[in-house]
């Protein structure tokens, strides 16, 4: 049920991730990024950092190290952070310059602010692209798509049950596993994360993206009759599965198609107690 058409350019974050797994002869899951850092000669330090910073790649002279924020309690998030910083190391170390921790934190903070100059906007764009590439590397290091596809295809169920099983197998968070699974899927599907009745972010398959009736909006309040609404705001309901009208979630991409339809979408919503978010898998048959 997952998309088998994988095309990654040589030198891409995915190719780099697969290459390091091959070079280090790592075949067992879950992947241990701490072991990979040690193999690469990268020292790991743990110290308290600002809440907005999970980790930082640092260079001191010819030595490299990763600072991991001690505020992070979950092992899955620690592992993703280390994998992300290894991505920065492998993808960017040849062009990186040595700087102090304060300089690095100030640079990171500056990229979150509104930019009034062209130079500032270009720096912000470069930073965001760098973060996207490091995230892509981390995903492919921990859940390499060719193997992930094979494992997912072997599961009888799809959606949240499959995502939960894969997250356990790969030692990854439900969030990152759900996004990876959905983006690779051959189904017309999406994964949506909502909090306090508001859609916070989502990911979708190619089929969902290409469907003219499937358009999601972040920051939008949940439809009061969506199943996810039953799981949020302190409700005792923790999980619901049913089909609902498509317009509870989506609107057409083209306003000319904005008319009543009888299309229905399968919605499977589950509350995540730790974060109080609701995760929703949407599947258009």
Question: Do residue 57 and residue 162 come from a single domain?
Answer: no
| Higher-confidence position of 213 and 3 | 213
Domain check: are 180 and 260 in the same one? yes
Supply the CATH number for residue 269's domain: 3.30.450
Closest C-alpha to 160, from 183, 181, 134: 181
pLDDT grade, residue 4 (50/70/90)? very low
Q: 222-257: per-residue pLDDT in tens?
A: 999 999 999 876 677 899 999 999 999 998 876 655
Same domain, 151 and 45: no
Q: CATH number of the domain that 137 lies in?
A: 1.10.10.2910
Q: Does some domain include residue 65?
A: yes
Confidence of residue 99 (pLDDT cuts 50, 70, 90): low
User: Which H or E element spans position 65?
Assistant: strand 63-69
Give the residue-averaged pLDDT of 201-206: 97
Write down which residue in 112, 142, 172 finishes a domain.
142
Identify which of 188, 151, 182, 153 has the alpha carbon closest to the alpha carbon of residue 166.
Answer: 151
Structure tokens at 260: 């009543």
DSSP state of 243: E
- Of the chain, the percentage scoring pLDDT greater than 90 comes to 66
Domain boundary among 94, 121, 142: 142
Residue 54 resides in a domain:
yes
| pLDDT average, residue stretch 169-194 | 97
Structure tokens that stand for 122 in this block: 């270009």
Is there a contact between 31 and 142 (Cβ–Cβ < 8 Å)? Answer: yes
> How far is 42 from 36, CA to CA, in rounded Å?
9
pLDDT of residue 237: 81
Q: Is residue 4 part of a domain?
A: no
Q: Do 159 and 124 fall into the same domain?
A: no
Classify residue 17: in a domain, yes or no. yes
What does the buried/exposed string (b/e) look like for 114-124 if buried means 16 or more CB atoms within 10 Å of the residue's CB?
eeeeeeeeeeb
Query: Is 167 within a domain?
Result: yes
Residue 39 or residue 106, greater confidence: 39
Let me know whether 49 and 90 are in one domain. yes
Of 142, 169, 193, which residue is a domain's last?
142
Q: What is the DSSP letter of 29?
A: S
Question: Do residues 137 and 188 share a domain?
Answer: no
Average pLDDT over residues 46-72: 89
Domain range for 265 is 145-283
Domains identified in the chain, total number: 2
Between 99 and 175, where is the model more confident?
175
List phi, psi (to 5°) of 124: -65, -45
Q: Give per-residue pLDDT as tens, 122-171.
A: 777 888 898 999 999 999 999 999 999 999 999 999 999 999 999 999 99
């Amino acid at each position: 049920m997952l998309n088998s058409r994988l095309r990654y350019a040589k030198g891409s974050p995915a190719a780099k991730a697969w290459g390091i797994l091959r070079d280090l002869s790592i075949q067992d899951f879950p992947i241990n990024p701490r072991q990979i850092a040690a193999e690469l000669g990268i020292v790991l330090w743990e110290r308290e950092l600002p809440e907005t910073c999970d980790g930082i790649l640092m260079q001191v002279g010819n030595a490299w190290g990763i600072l991991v924020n001690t505020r992070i309690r979950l092992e899955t998030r620690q592992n993703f952070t280390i994998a992300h910083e290894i991505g920065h190391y492998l993808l960017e170390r040849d062009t990186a310059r040595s700087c102090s921790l304060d300089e690095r934190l100030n640079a990171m903070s500056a990229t979150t602010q509104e930019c009034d100059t062209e130079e500032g906007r270009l720096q912000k764009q470069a930073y965001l692209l760098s973060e996207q590439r490091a995230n892509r590397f981390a995903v492919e290091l921990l859940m390499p798509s060719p193997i992930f596809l094979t494992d997912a295809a072997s599961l009888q169920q799809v959606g949240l049950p499959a995502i939960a099983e894969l997250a356990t197998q790969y030692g990854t968070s439900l969030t990152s596993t759900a996004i990876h699974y959905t983006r690779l899927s051959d189904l017309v599907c999406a994964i949506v994360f909502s909090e306090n009745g508001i859609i916070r972010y989502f990911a979708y398959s190619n089929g969902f993206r290409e469907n003219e009736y499937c358009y999601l909006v972040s920051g939008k309040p949940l439809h009061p009759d969506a199943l996810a609404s039953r799981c949020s705001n302190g409700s005792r309901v923790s999980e619901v599965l049913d089909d609902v009208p498509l317009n509870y979630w989506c609107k057409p991409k083209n306003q000319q198609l904005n008319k009543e339809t009888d299309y229905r979408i399968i919605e499977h919503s589950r509350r995540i107690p730790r974060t109080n978010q609701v995760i929703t898998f949407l599947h258009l048959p």
